[in-house]
A and B are shown apart, each in its own frame.
Chain A
Amino acid sequence: MNITIDYFLILSAFMLGAGMYGFFTRRNTLAILISIELILNAADINFAAFNRLCQTGIEGYVFTLFSIAISAAETAIAIAVMINIYRMLKNNYVDELDTLKW
């Protein structure tokens, strides 16, 4: 069976949709972070698949590598912020983050 670009695009679009859904519905900040990782990985899959099947060169692969490294850095600092919140509130649900409003 020949795997065409469509399969990759459908997979990445599904991951993007799942990530966005999770971002808006989840109540735990860590779950929100996981949803965001889904979105970032969807973009990475797109880059790699486009590069493998449609384009020449290695620009897409290089971009994927950089984007993985950057999202790791972002996740690290996001988790640092969440640990700080956990120390103060003893949980990390977004419902509790309501001192700043309107």
Chain B
Amino acid sequence: MDYSQFLNMAPELSLLAVILILFVADLFMCTDRKSGRGILNTPLPVVLLTLHTLFCIAPLVCPMFSAQCSMLNAECFGGMYVSSAMALVVKAILNVGTIIVFLTAHEWLKQPEMTNKQGEYYILTLFTLLGMYFMISAGHFLMFFIGLELASVPMTALIAYSKRSQESAEAAAKYILTALFSSGLMLYGISLIYGTTGTLYFDKIAPLMLNGQCSMVNIAALVLFIGGIGFKISLVPFHLWTADAYQGAPTAVTSYLSVISKGAAAFVLFVVLYKVFAPIIDQANVLFFWIIVFSITLANIFAVRQNNLKRFMAFSAISQAGYLVLGVMGATPQGLTAIVYYLLVYMAANLGVFLIISITEQRSGKLLISDYDGYYRTNPRLAFLMTLCLFSLAGIPPFAGFFSKFFMFMAAFKAGFIVLVLIALVNTVISLYYYLLIVKAMYIKPNDNPIAPFRSDGYTRFGLGLCIAGVVLIGIISWFYAYIDQFSFGL
């Protein structure tokens, strides 16, 4: 066996090294030594993850590391693991998102009753990230399935993290039962693919499917597969867990759940459709047409009537997932660029909102939208930053959200889905309404008992700085889109 092929999976290995370092640090830094714990809580994971991110993107940005460029287009283990430049970009984006989530979690983990459990949070989160890495780079359904489960099993433990809270336990139960159900259905779909083609390698399936003898079986496999992955992205017929899991989970976990796992799954959906289901892409498009229409519309309708902010963000996330899948339609290179770019922009805006929700929850314990009445009077700067993020989510022009939606619509339009783009446009206007409801609560509505003024900690400020920079700059600086675009061909 050629052991040097392990070097092609350098991002996974370096992430594994980060996990092991954190694990050992968690073991040997005892609780009563306060100085040691201070390092473990946020600086150590963030610094390690930053180094890991730099290591990941080194072959992309720096020609000096061209020796590592074999990593950009390589197959290991007979095609089980496929690494591509685009996958590396997605991994780097997920890394940045995870760093911001860690910054969100700092205040929550600092509480006295959490001190014993700090290390576990970081390790579990990074294990789900590792699962997503494998999922993104999979070239075989077995690798994909293992990655998917590695991403969703530790996630359950994270959702149930507040052990004494009934909401947390209930959210975890709902999450794990639906996750198991959908992964069971997907497994059945994969078995049908295996039965008709006799192979599970992504590249080999499509030519064997072309003979068309078992097209009905193939379509059944497609439907079951979309059921499994649609659960991860929380598209509408499979979205029922989303709102409950988002509301019950601790806020730092919710922000991770809303962006990172969703983005990885959307990328994988594109890859599998592009490689495996290419012969029946027309049937897939019919399916996706209705999934997207229902995701965007239903989520918008339900979001209007929410009062809990985390639940509201859940429906907003379902609706955004609908837009994210818009790029999957037609499976064009432009669609892939649009998906990755949308993911980057959505991450900046959504994590920004969650940072503010989290720090407000920690300082005042308030989570309802009606609690945010008069927020501008007491905390003007946070209210302003939240407004920027919400504007970006809604897609108002100067902010990045507008550009990401624009490229997404353009990709779908070029692929020929004009009616769908029209429906999505109408829904953008509806979504503007409910995002503005929060802005209205913060700026206009009077409140006798508003949230008291508070100072946020340095980690939250740093995270917010990153998010706001993303929201403002990613759209205006066209380098980001052009940079992602150059990797989208050939996949």
List residues of chain A with CB under 8 Å of any chain B CB.
12, 16, 19, 23, 29, 32-33, 36, 39-40, 42-44, 46-47, 50-51, 54-57, 59-60, 62-63, 66-67, 70-71, 73-75, 77-78, 80-82, 84-85, 88-89, 97, 99-100, 102
Q: Are B194 and A47 interface neighbours, CB within 8 A?
A: yes
- Whose C-beta in chain A lies nearest to the C-beta of B175? A81
Q: Are A62 and B176 interface neighbours, CB within 8 A?
A: no
If A42-B188, A47-B194 touch, does A88 touch B200 (CB 8 Å cutoff)? no
Cβ contact of A97, chosen from B173, B184, B198, cutoff 8 A: B173
Contact residue range for chain B? 35 or more
Cβ contact of B173, chosen from A59, A66, A85, cutoff 8 A: A85
List residues of chain B with CB under 8 Å of any chain A CB.
141-142, 145-146, 149, 153, 156-157, 160, 163, 166-167, 169-174, 176-177, 179-181, 183-185, 187-188, 190-192, 194-195, 198-200, 243-244, 247-248, 305
Q: Are A29 and B173 interface neighbours, CB within 8 A?
A: yes
* Residue in B153, B156, B180, B194 with the greatest tally of chain A CB atoms within 10 Å: B180
Bound complex: CA A59 to CA B194 (Å): 9
Q: Are A67 and B145 interface neighbours, CB within 8 A?
A: yes
Q: Are B156 and A55 interface neighbours, CB within 8 A?
A: no
Cβ contact of A43, chosen from B157, B163, B172, B190, cutoff 8 A: B190
Interface of B is mostly: helix
Min Cβ gap B276→A in Å is 15
Q: Within 8 Å CB of A102, what residues of B?
A: 243, 305
Bound complex: CA A26 to CA B171 (Å): 18
Q: Within 8 Å CB of A39, what residues of B?
A: 181, 184-185, 187-188
Q: Are A46 and B191 interface neighbours, CB within 8 A?
A: yes
Bound complex: CA A82 to CA B188 (Å): 26
Q: Are A89 and B191 interface neighbours, CB within 8 A?
A: no
A29-B173, A66-B146, A67-B145 known, 11 other contacts, Cβ within 8 Å: A43-B188, A44-B191, A46-B191, A59-B194, A60-B194, A63-B141, A67-B187, A74-B153, A78-B156, A85-B170, A102-B305
Q: Are B149 and A81 interface neighbours, CB within 8 A?
A: no
Q: Are A36 and B191 interface neighbours, CB within 8 A?
A: no
- Whose C-beta in chain A lies nearest to the C-beta of B166? A88
Q: Are A82 and B173 interface neighbours, CB within 8 A?
A: yes
Q: Within 8 Å CB of A80, what residues of B?
A: 157, 160
Bound complex: CA A3 to CA B199 (Å): 23
Bound complex: CA A68 to CA B198 (Å): 20
Bound complex: CA A81 to CA B167 (Å): 12
Q: Are B194 and A99 interface neighbours, CB within 8 A?
A: no
Cβ contact of A32, chosen from B149, B170, B177, cutoff 8 A: B177
Sample (15) of A-B pairs whose CB atoms are under 8 Å apart: A32-B177, A39-B181, A43-B187, A43-B190, A54-B198, A63-B142, A63-B194, A66-B145, A74-B183, A78-B176, A78-B177, A80-B157, A88-B169, A100-B170, A100-B248
Q: Are B190 and A81 interface neighbours, CB within 8 A?
A: no
- Whose C-beta in chain B lies nearest to the C-beta of A56? B198
Min Cβ gap B300→A in Å is 15
- Whose C-beta in chain B lies nearest to the C-beta of A70? B149
- Whose C-beta in chain B lies nearest to the C-beta of A54? B195
* Residue in B146, B172, B190, B195 with the greatest tally of chain A CB atoms within 10 Å: B195
If A23-B181, A36-B184 touch, does A97 touch B170 (CB 8 Å cutoff)? yes
Cβ contact of A81, chosen from B146, B156, B187, B191, cutoff 8 A: B156
Q: Are A100 and B167 interface neighbours, CB within 8 A?
A: yes
Q: Are A46 and B198 interface neighbours, CB within 8 A?
A: no
